Structure 1
């Protein structure tokens, strides 16, 4: 695992109130070699890296394994999480209605460091994401979230991810990007989209984190 990812995990843990020595973290992550190792962590909610299994899959096994991972697949419900200042606009609502018959519930949440470290901690671009949030001054601001639940066996997550990607392509002006690649050892530009929704591997953990941030 490269140094940017180690920094990403360390920052995420700090945001969760967990202090860990860098060498100890490197030792802990270096023991993870295979998908079976990751599944063992996924079964142990007392493991220090348990909250960040999706990021570990991405960092250690790569993007293709991350996309095809079979951990915790449940498409019966999901969440759309809009960054502070963005609304659940009619275009997204209508796109959901076109995809299927969904139960839709809108609510407010707090865009806290604890929440965001649960969602994105450990990914290589997490440091840049946090720096972008600093620049936009959106920490601890209130945002809109939407709970989506299927009624007729329509795959919620697949539908919402398709809507998210199409919306991002259609509305690039909604994406905020800050050139940070040479700053703070981020390694990436800072990018924050108008809204997020989890994929299958992320859903269980993201759902719990979003509910805890709910107002």
Structure 2
């Protein structure tokens, strides 16, 4: 959606007041524009960073990304900055604390899944670690969408990643959620052609 003072073209691009073209959803708010301009689609290759983003994508299921992004600092505080070893040690008292935390999404299933996913992340180190598993599903080519309608919501690689993580004990990691993760951390580039951010990750030329 184009924000105030911006024009949206036929190709799913929004032109901001700064004259720069962005994929249209980035213009929903200043928060979303900042996220789009500085972080979304840039490579994340460290375990903590990937665990955080996997966790937030899981919490986003059924909600808007803007809702999650607005609560991101609260999530970091609640989940020990998403340090997998610390979250893996959370117990039932932590679950009850988190269920009562109005600063995050108080969904017991997603909270317990995040703790379980932290334990699965720690266990996965014996098989190369979470970054190796996630990045091993990078496709041979990235989508080249020329409109929002051409941006896929899943792929064979996201299907395979979801299956791999589920087999390792992860939850809330369905194919659509994993494709969103792949977009967010630079494994695929789904910036609409013409966006000033297209190709900025260095992963895809």
TM-score tier by shorter-chain length is under 0.3
**Under a length normalisation based on structure 2, what TM-score does the superposition of the two structures give?**
0.28
Indicate the structure with greater strand content. Answer: 1
